[in-house]
Amino acid sequence: MRVAEVFVAGAGLMGSGIAQVCAQAGLAVHLFDLDPDQVDQALENIRWSVDKLVAKGKVAGSVDEVMARISPAADLAPAAGADLVMEVVFEDLEAKRRLYRELAPVVSDEALVASNTSAIPISQLAAHAPDPQRFLGLHFFSPAPMMGAVEVIRGGLTTREVFAAGGDFVRAIGKEPIMVQRDVPGFVLNRINFPSTIEAMRLVEAGVATVEDIDKGLRLAMGRRMGIFETGDMVGLDVTHGALMAMYQETGEPRWFPPLLLRRKVAAGQLGRKTGVGWYRYDDQGRRLGPAED
C-alpha cells in the first residue's frame, strides 16, 4: 500500500502542516477546505514555512518545487485518485461523520482513509467511514513540520495490513510512528500529556502561579521546547477543549472534564493565536505581546 498521492480535508493549522510535510517528502497533495479563503491562507503559510526550512538546508529542492506538489481542491472530487485521504477537521464528531458520508462515494476502494483526531476513538469514527477496515488514525502533533512523531492508531476493524501501511507512510514522510495497538480515547501521548495540561490550568485558576512562570519552568527545568500554555495557544484552546470533552464523554471520567478557566476562555472566543488572545495576547503578525491577564 504505497502512498504517492494524498488528499487533505481541512486547511487549518494541522491540515496545512500535514500537507506541507507530505509535499516536502515528494508526495502529490490536494488541499481542501469548505472555506476557499482558508486554503489560500494555508498555501501562503506553507510557502513561508518551506522558505525558512529551505534556507536552513532542512528541506531538499526549491520552494517552488515543493509548492508545485500542492494543489488547491475546490471540492472532494480529487479524493478519487488519492492513495490516502486525511480528515483534519475540528474535534466535532458530527462534522467528521458528515465528511465521511460525503467521501464514501468518491474514494477509491484501495485508498486508506485516516483521521487526525487527537482524542476521539477511531472505532467510533470508523462506523461512518467509507470502509472501516481501511480506516485508521494518523495523529500528527503541532507544528506538524517540526514534530518528529505521529501516532498510528488501529481501530477495532482496521486490518493488520492497513495498520502496518500507516506506519510505512509515516516513515516515508520522515517521521517516526508510535504504533497504538489498542483504540482508547486520547490514544497514548495525550493520555500522558493532558493530565499535566489540566493541572497547569488548575494551578493558574487557584492563583498558585502565572501562565508565564509555569511555561518558563517547563522550558528551563523540564526541557520542553514550549510551555503548556504557549503550545495551547498555537494549537487552539477550542481544540484542547474539544479533545478533553471527547475523552470525558467517552469515558465518563471526571478527570478529563475541561477546567473552568479553559471553558470560560473558549466561551469568550479567546482561542489563542488565531483570535489574538488566549493564554497570551498577540499582535496582527502573531507575535506574542504578553499574558492575556495583563
Same domain, 108 and 18: yes
Q: Count the domains in the chain.
A: 2
Same domain, 214 and 268: yes
Same domain, 94 and 231: no
Same domain, 231 and 136: no
- Taking only the tens place, the pLDDT of each residue in 78-124 is 999 999 999 999 888 899 999 999 999 999 999 999 999 999 999 99
Q: Is the predicted pLDDT of residue 214 greater than 90, yes or no?
A: yes
**CA 202 – CA 259 distance, rounded (Å):** 7
Of 180, 200, 233, which one is at a domain's C-terminal end?
A: 180
**CA 153 – CA 12 distance, rounded (Å):** 22
Same domain, 163 and 240: no
* Positions marked active-site: 118, 139, 151, 190
Could you list the residue range(s) of the whole structural domain that residue 223 is in? 190-289
User: Can you give the pTM of this predicted structure?
Assistant: 0.92
Same domain, 17 and 124: yes
Same domain, 108 and 204: no
**CA 157 – CA 113 distance, rounded (Å):** 13
Same domain, 147 and 274: no
Of 180, 203, 221, which one is at a domain's C-terminal end?
A: 180
Q: Is the predicted pLDDT of residue 183 greater than 70, yes or no?
A: yes
User: How many CA atoms does the CB half-sphere of 223 hold within 13 Å?
Assistant: 0
